[in-house]
Amino acid sequence: MSGLNSLIVSVLQRLPRSVVRPFALRYIAGERLEDAIKAVKHLHSMQIMGTIDVLGEDVKTSEQAREAAAAYEEVLHAIHDNRLNANLSIKLTQFGLKIDEGFCYSSVRDLVRMATQYQNFVRIDMEDSSTTSATLTLYERLRAEGLDRVGVVIQASLRRSAADVEQLIRRIGNVRLCKGAYVEPESIAFRGREEIRQNFMKLLRRLFETGCYVGIATHDEVLVQGAYRSIEEMKVERGAYEFQMLHGVRPRLRGEILRAGHRMRVYVPFGKEWYGYSMRRFKENPQVARYVLRALFSKD
């Protein structure tokens, strides 16, 4: 992030939350589950699927982890009751991964079992590199128990991801492929934009050729076009993948992907922990951060 962009985000962080909140709503559905349900229904009107996330991560107590698990169970019930074409996205640190891995596993297993009963699906999000191995181990353990309605994420920015994909394809699973939003040491991560793109495409083609279902999670038009070419060249069936994007990010590109005949799923976060999430989006998208400042100080 450039010096100017860093300054802009720094200014935003010093503003009262009440001032930032209207702009943060671009990225979140709201604070309540009802807000998320409404947002997913709106997406459905455009033939877009959803994945719902209860904001929050890196909890400090087992009680907070239990509260998170209960909140996700409520989301599953709501998806079923409202007949939504939506699934769940969860972060393991929100389920107590850094407190007690056994407790975390038990909670996630119960959630996946409930999702299975509803014929739904749970996506385990990937966090920073300190949790990568534990996340993949937990996922493999769930699959070894015969739980198939669960998927994981691979970040193209990590150097280890090619080896991780080789392990994942043994079970022909459901993998979301993204660039990766975390700033990691160069010793374990690619830093250049082009080398990350090249690794993304390499991993995508490997997942396609082994029959994994792939969530192509990107807002990068270069990668979207690359995915189009790979899909055509490899004759990948339309039901074997979907594109995925974040709520409020690049709606024009989202529309173009839909008009090209590809399936689309949008990540819909909600909850009281909206501030930290929105600040991360501002850091990732400085153009929006500049827009927020202009809007705040405009006389119009």
Asked, for residue 219, whether it belongs to a domain, the answer is yes
C-alpha–C-alpha distance, residues 109 and 268, integer Å? 22
Asked, for residue 16, whether it belongs to a domain, the answer is no
Asked, for residue 43, whether it belongs to a domain, the answer is yes
Residue 169 burial by Cβ neighbours in a 10 Å radius (0-12, 13-18, 19+): middle
Asked, for residue 293, whether it belongs to a domain, the answer is no
pLDDT confidence of residue 300: 43
pLDDT confidence of residue 286: 60
- Domain count of the chain? 1
C-alpha–C-alpha distance, residues 159 and 34, integer Å? 40
pLDDT band at 193, cuts 50/70/90? Answer: very high
Q: What is the mean pLDDT of residues 23-27?
A: 78
The residues, ordered by sequence, that sit 6+ positions from 74 with a Cβ below 8 Å of its Cβ are: 33
Q: Is the pLDDT of residue 296 over 70?
A: no
Q: Is the pLDDT of residue 292 over 70?
A: no
Asked, for residue 145, whether it belongs to a domain, the answer is yes
Parent domain of 70: 29-270
> Smallest Cα–Cα separation from 247: which of 90, 51, 68, 74?
51
Asked, for residue 136, whether it belongs to a domain, the answer is yes
The catalytic site residues sit at 125, 176
pTM tops 0.85 = yes
C-alpha–C-alpha distance, residues 170 and 181, integer Å? 26
> Smallest Cα–Cα separation from 157: which of 218, 96, 200, 103?
200
pLDDT confidence of residue 10: 75
> Smallest Cα–Cα separation from 204: which of 235, 183, 176?
176
Q: Is the pLDDT of residue 276 over 50?
A: yes
Residue that has been written with the tokens 């349900």 in this structure: 37
Q: 43: domain CATH number? A: 3.20.20.220
Q: Could you tell me the CA-to-CA distances from 43 to 37, 83, 244 in Å, in that order? A: 10, 13, 13
Q: What is the mean pLDDT of residues 124-145?
A: 96
pLDDT confidence of residue 98: 95
Asked, for residue 118, whether it belongs to a domain, the answer is yes
Q: Is the pLDDT of residue 256 over 90?
A: yes
Q: What are 88-106's pLDDT values in tens digits?
A: 999 999 999 999 999 999 9
pLDDT confidence of residue 105: 98
Asked, for residue 40, whether it belongs to a domain, the answer is yes
